[in-house]
Structure 1
Amino acid sequence: MSTFLFATLDAGGNLPPAVGIARELVSLGHRVRFLGHPRQEAAITASGAEFQPYNHSPRMALAEQLPTLQQISMLVSVFTDAGIAQDVVEEARREQADVVIVDCLLLAALDAAAKAGLFTVALVHSFYAFFDGPFRRTPITAMLALRGLGPRRVMGKANRILVCADRQLDPAGRPGRTGAGDQNGRVVWSGAVVDVDRPAPAPAPGSTPRVLVSLSTTAFSGQEAFMQRALDAVADLPLDVILTTGPAINADRIWAPANVTAHSYLPHREVMPECAAVLGHGGHATTMLALAHNLPLVIAPMHPLLDQRMVGKAVQDAGAGLLIRPSASAEEIAGALRTAVDSASLHLGAATVGQRLREADGARTGALFLAEIAG
C-alpha cells in the first residue's frame, strides 16, 4: 500500500479530476489524503480519502462579484502562497507520502515540494495546451513570473505532469505536436475524469427535449446578463429547461419563463442522462461530463483569459457542439440551441467523443499511473 497526498484549492471544476482519481486509488487499497479548503471536505471524504484543511491559506471567494483587479489579486495570492506551500511540505513529510499530487495552479506548493525533494506530480485539470500556452501570457502569469513562479518553469520541476484531459481534444496532445511543452516525455494524459454510469438515451419520440443550462460557479463579469438572455431565448422554444444558478448568480435577479425549472444546485450527473443538450460556459469539467453523456453543447466562454474558449473551440472542431460569443443575443442563443438539439451530426459527434471518454476511464487510468510510479 502506498500513501498519496493531494494538494488542491477551492476553484470549482479543478476538484472532480482529483477526487475521481483518489476514489480509484482508495479502491485499490492505497491511503489517500487531501489538503484543501473547508468547502471541499464533503466531496473529498465521499471518495474515501482523508481531508485536512490548510493551516495557512488566503481567503478564496470566487463566487463573489469582485472587481477584476481584486479577483486577479486574490487568485495570485493563493497560487503563490507560502503558507499553503509550507503546509504541503510539512504534511507530506509527516505522513511520509510516496507521491505528492499538486494542483497545477498551486505554483508555490509545486515549487516547494520539488525543492524539498518530494516525488511530485503536477495535476492538470484541463487542456495542457492552455496551461503551457495562453495561460503563460495573461496578467495573472505576469504577476506570477515576477515572483519567480512562472508556470512552465515550476511545472518543469515536477517529476511528472498528469493531464486529466482527452488527448485528441487537447491541442498539445494531438499527433505530430512537438516542442517545449512536451517536457521531455514527462507529460502523461490519463483522459478526462468523468463519473458516468451510462450515456444519455435518445429522447422518446414526441417528447419535449430537455436542456441543461449551467454556467460557472465562479463569478464573471457579464455572466448574469448572459444567463438572462439565455432564459429569454428559451421562453418560446419547445424545450424543457433545467437551470442551475450556482453560488455566483443571484437567482432573485433572474426571470425564468414557465418552461424553466431553476435550482441553486443540482448534481449534473443526475440530470444529464435526461437531457438532449447542454448550454454552458466551456468549463472543462462540465463540458467533458456532458460529452461523456453523448450530449452536444452550446458553449459561451465567460472569461477571455481562461481555458473556456479553447475548450469550446475543441468541441466545435470535433463536431460535438457550437461555440458562440458571450455577447450573443437571445435570438442567436435560441438558434444555437435549436441546432444543438435537432442536429443529427452534432449528436453523432458528441457520441463519438463520449464513447472515447468513457473507454479511456480517466480516473482509473490516472490512479493506475500514480500507483505504478509510487512503486
Structure 2
Amino acid sequence: MSYFLFATLDAGGNLPPALGIARELVNLGHRVRFLGHSRQAAAIGTSGAEFRPYSHSPRMTPAEQMPTLRQVSMMVSVFADAGIAQDLLEEARKEPPDVVIVDCLLLGAMDAAVKAGFRTVALVHSLYAFFDGPFRRSPIAAILAVRGLGPGKVMRSAHRVLVCADQQLDPAGKPSRDGKVVWSGAVIDIDRPAEALRPGTRPRVLISLSTTAFSGQEAFLQKALNAVNDLPVEVILTTGPAISPTSIQAPRNTTVYRYLPHKEVMPECVAVLGHGGHATTMLALAHGLPLVIAPMHPLLDQRMVGQAVQDAGAGLLIKSSASRDKIAHALGDVINLPAFSLAAAAVGQRLRESDGARAGARLLIETVS
C-alpha cells in the first residue's frame, strides 16, 4: 500500500478530477489524504480519502461578487501562498507520503514540495495547452513570475505532470520527449449516457454557468433564459453559489435549482449551455450531449475548451455578448442538427472508454517506483 497526499484549493471544477483519481486509489487499497479549504471537506469525504483543512491559507471566496482586479489579486494570493506551502510541508514531514500531488494552480506549494525533495506530481485539471500557453503569458503568470513562481518553470520542476484531459481534444496532446507530461484522459463521474428522447416529450436543456462569480455572468444568464423562452424546450437551470435563484426571472419552461448534481439530470437532456468549465464540459460530452459554450472570463481556459469542442464538431462557441437571438439560434442548431449529437456521442464514447480516473491512478502508482 502506498500513501498519496493531495493539495487542492476551492476553485470549483478543479476538484472533480482529483476526487475521481483519489476514489480509484482508495478502492485499490491505497491511503489517500487531502489538504484543502474547509468548504471542500464534504466533497472530499465522498471519495473515501482523509481530509485536513489548511491552517494558514488566505481566505478564498470564489462565489463572492468582486471587482476584477480584486478577483485577480485573490487568485495570485492563493496560487503563491506560503501558508499553503507551510501546511503541505508540515503534513508531508510528519508522515512522508510516497507521492505528493499538487493542483497545478498551487505553484507556491508545488515549488516548496519539489525543493523539499518530495516526489511531486502537478495535477492539471484542464487542457495542458492552456496552462502551457495562454496561462503562462497572462498577467497572473507575470505577477507569479516576479515572485519566482513562473508556471512553466515550477510545473516542469515536478517529477511528473499529470493532465486530466482528453489527449485528442487537447491542442498540446503530444507526450513530451522526456515522458514528464502524461495524459490520463478526462476524469468523469458518470452512471449512464444520455437516453433517447421519448416520443411526444419536449427536449430538455441544462443551463449551468460557473460556481465562481464572474463579471457579467448573471446578465448573460438572464439573457439566455429570455432566449430559451421562445424555444420548444424544457430547461433545467442550476445557478450555483455565485448567483441567487431569486435574482433570476425564469420563463415558464424553466425550473431553477441552486444545486443539482449534473450527472443526475444530464441523462435526460439533449444539450447543455455552459461557460466552458472543463469539468462540466467533459461530463456533458461523456453523456453524449452537444454544447453551446459562452466563456465568462478572458484569462481562464474557458474559451480554449469551447474552441476544442467546436473543432470536434460537438458544439458551438459563442461570445458572452451574443444577442438573445444568437443564443437561441445556437441552441436550436445543436439540438436539431444531427451532426452535433453524432460528434458529441463519438467524443463521449472515447471519454468513457479511456476511464481517466483509473488511468490517472495507474500513472500515480507508477510514479511511486
Give the CA deviation at 1:250: 2.3
Question: Is 1:211 equivalent to 2:205 in the alignment?
Answer: yes
CA distance in structure 2 between the aligned counterparts of 1:360 and 1:237, rounded to whole angstroms: 35
Equivalent residue runs for 1:189-338 within 5 Å: 189-338=183-332
How big is the shift at 1:183? 7.0
1:340 positional shift:
1.0
Deviations 1:221-254 (A, max 9, x none): 1100100000000112110000000111122221
CA contact (8 A) 2:244 2:258 kept: no
Counterparts of 2:137 and 2:246, CA distance in 1: 37
Where does 1:53-64 land on structure 2 (aligned, <5 Å)? 53-64=53-64
CA distance in 2, matches of 1:95, 1:167: 35
Task: Report the equivalent of 2:77.
Answer: 77
SS of 1:195's partner is: coil
Residue in 1 aligned with 2:107?
A: 107
SS class of match (2:236): strand
SS of 2:136's equivalent in the other structure is: helix
Structure 1 counterpart of 2:89: 89
Distance 2:118 2:28 in 1: 23
Distance 2:258 2:299 in 1: 26
- Contact kept in structure 1, 2:236 and 2:255, CA below 8 Å: yes
User: Residue 341 of structure 2 aligns to a residue in which SS?
Assistant: helix
- Report what 2:356 is aligned to: 362
Tell me how many residue pairs correspond in the alignment.
369
Give 1:167 shift.
Answer: 0.2
Instruction: State the AA in 1 paired with 2:126.
Output: S
Using the alignment, how far apart are the partners of 2:108 and 2:21 within structure 1? 23
| 1-structure distance, mates of 2:91, 2:353 | 35
Equivalent residue of 1:84, what SS? helix
For 1:167 and 1:121, locate their aligned partners in 2 and report how far apart those are by CA, in whole Å.
Answer: 18
CA distance in 2, matches of 1:343, 1:134: 32
Q: Distance in 1 between matches of 2:87 and 2:186?
A: 28
> Is the 8 Å Cα contact of residues 295 and 351 (structure 1) preserved in structure 2?
yes
Can you list the C-alpha shifts for 1:6-47, whole angstroms capped at 9, x where unaligned? 000000000000000000000000000000001100110110
Aligned to 1:126: 126
AA partner of residue 4 (structure 2): F
C-alpha offsets along residues 123-144 of structure 1, whole Å, 9 cap, x if unaligned?
A: 0000000000000111111110
Partner of 1:16: 16
TM-score of the superposed pair, with normalisation by structure 2: 0.99
Alignment match, 1:341: 335
Taking structure 1 as the reference length, the TM-score comes to 0.97
8 Å contact kept, 2:4–2:100: yes
Distance 1:95 1:117 in 2: 14
Structure 2: 5+ residue stretches without partners: none
RMSD over aligned CA atoms reads 0.9
Contact 2:100/2:120 (8 A) holds in 1: yes
| C-alpha separation in 2, matches of 1:119 and 1:373 | 8
Contact preservation (8 Å) 2:277, 2:302: yes
Which residue identity lines up with residue 358 of structure 1 in the other structure?
Answer: R
Indicate conservation of the 8 Å contact 1:156/1:183, yes or no: no
1:209 is displaced (CA, Å) by: 0.2
3-state SS of paired residue (1:237): coil
Measured after TM superposition, the shift of residue 321 of structure 1 is 0.3
Is 1:140 aligned with 2:140?
yes
Could you tell me which residue of structure 2 aligns to residue 67 of structure 1? 67
Is contact 2:129-2:171 (8 Å) kept?
Answer: yes
Amino acid across the alignment from 1:16: P
For residues 197 and 95 of structure 1, the distance between their equivalents in structure 2, rounded to whole angstroms, comes to 36
Unpaired runs of 5+ residues, structure 1, are: none
Q: What percent identity do the matched residue pairs reach?
A: 73
Code of the residue aligned with 1:47 in structure 2: it is S
